[in-house]
Structure 1
Amino acid sequence: MLLWINGPFGGGKTQTAHEIRRRLPGSVVCDPEHAGFGLRRMLPPELRGAGGREPLVDDFQDLVAWRQGVVEVLDLTLGKHEGVVIAPMTVTDPGHFAETVGRLGELGHDVRHFTLLAERETVLRRLRERGPGHLLHHVSGRNTGLRRESWAVRRLDHCLERLSGPEFAEHLWTDHTTVPKTADRIAVLAGLTLKPNNEGALRTRLRQARVGMKHIRFD
């Protein structure tokens, strides 16, 4: 089974994916973002937008190589790995969605797609609280705001509008729930059984902070 967890940038996809992996023995996270950033970093810095230049590729999902590569790697993984595979990735373009999530279903895999949604202000708050800017604010008192998340903020309204469409169901609203509870809801809908969540609140926050720091991108 493939669990594809969709949603806006800052919507909790990665945290939810790793929560499921933690509590579902044999499951693995295969993050399609790795392929995208690898392709983008093949470009020289000036073509990636360094120095305020216009990037040659603003969204790596527009690269055919990304869409085909993600399908190829996930198809291979699903064919060889016995446990559940979890892919946290924002996909808002219906064509790209068909070429990735849809294509994997056409190849015969059991694909379960979920979109995590939240109100705009909820997502903005989450973007402020993730990454090094939030840590710097606590340590030095400097408020770096959302500068590093500017790309995600620019795309937010587009993401929320597109992902609310019926083609991106099943929708799960996360404004008033926690990551472990969202993982529980996905498991129930997918017919899976997660191990009980016995973590305390502090340990959960520390673990989620580690996950967040590991997924910070600097270019």
Structure 2
Amino acid sequence: MLLWINGPFGGGKTQTAHEIQRRLPGSVVCDPEHAGFGLRRMLPPGLRGDFQDLASWRQGVVEVLDLALTHHDGVVIAPMTVTDSGYFAETVGRLRELGHDVRHFTLLAERETVLERLRERGFGRLLKAAAGKNAGLRRESWAVRQLDHCLERLREPEFAEHLWTDHSTVPKTADRIAVLAGLTLRPNTEGRLRTRLRQAGVGLRHIRFD
């Protein structure tokens, strides 16, 4: 089974994917963003754009996830924002055509909720304390520019199943996805402090500087 976790940038996809992986034995996170940034770094700065526009990214994601799903004995989790209908068909749709059990979920939240999460990503808490509440948003300017488009597109029926997360923690969102996918997660026994430290670590490992 593939769990494709969609949502706006800053919507909690990566945190949710790693929460599921932590509590679902045998599962693995295969992040399509890694391939995208690798392709982007191959290009001269003046030619770098949205890596999803590269056919090599879309084809490569299908090839790699198909390989993982065919040979890995466990659930594969892919956290990735995709809002273009054609690109969605070329990735999620193509994997379904290949016979894989793909469960797609879109994490949604109100605009202000996502903005607050963007402020706190990575070094966001430190930046906000040192330079004001909008410091984190300046660092996340690309994600902010994409936010309204993402929220509008991802509300469309083709991007269901929709999960609203404004009042849900990451562990609770993971629980909801597991129930809908027919999976059983190990109980979440972490305390609040340990959870926040672990999530901060996940966030720091996924900071992009280019």
Structure 1 and Structure 2 fold alike (TM over 0.5): yes
8 A contact 2:3–2:102 mirrored in 1: yes
1:169 to 133, 142, 160: 160
Structure 2 CA distance, aligned partners of 1:36 and 1:135?
28
8 A contact 2:120–2:136 mirrored in 1: no
Structure 2 CA distance, aligned partners of 1:28 and 1:168?
23
Deviations 1:107-152 (A, max 9, x none): 00000000000000000000001122322334xx223241110110
Superposition pairs of residues 79-118 of structure 1, within 5 angstroms: 79-118=70-109
Q: TM-score of the superposition, structure 1-length normalised?
A: 0.93
Residue matched to 1:16: 16
| Alpha-carbon RMSD | 0.9
Offset at residue 57 of structure 1 (A): 3.6
Structure 2 CA distance, aligned partners of 1:14 and 1:44?
28
1:151 to 109, 120, 142: 142
Structure 2 CA distance, aligned partners of 1:16 and 1:102?
22
Deviations 1:25-81 (A, max 9, x none): 000000000000000000123x2xxxxxxxx34211000000000000000000000
8 A contact 2:16–2:173 mirrored in 1: yes
Residue matched to 2:171: 180
Structure 1 CA distance, aligned partners of 2:168 and 2:4?
20
Residue matched to 2:190: 199
User: Unaligned 5+ residue runs, structure 1?
Assistant: 48-55
Which SS does the other structure have where 2:77 is aligned? strand
Moved over 6 A (4+): none
Residue matched to 1:65: 56
Structure 1 CA distance, aligned partners of 2:136 and 2:20?
30
Q: Which residue identity lines up with residue 146 of structure 1 in the other structure?
A: L
User: Unaligned 5+ residue runs, structure 2?
Assistant: none
Residue matched to 2:26: 26
Residue matched to 2:65: 74
Residue matched to 1:136: 127
Offset at residue 98 of structure 1 (A): 0.2
Q: Percent identity?
A: 85
Worse-matched range after superposition: 5-14 or 129-138: 129-138
1:125 pairs with 2:127: no
Structure 2 CA distance, aligned partners of 1:131 and 1:199?
21
Structure 2 CA distance, aligned partners of 1:133 and 1:190?
33
Structure 2 CA distance, aligned partners of 1:82 and 1:133?
37
Equivalent pairs, count: 208
Q: Which residue identity lines up with residue 36 of structure 2 in the other structure?
A: G
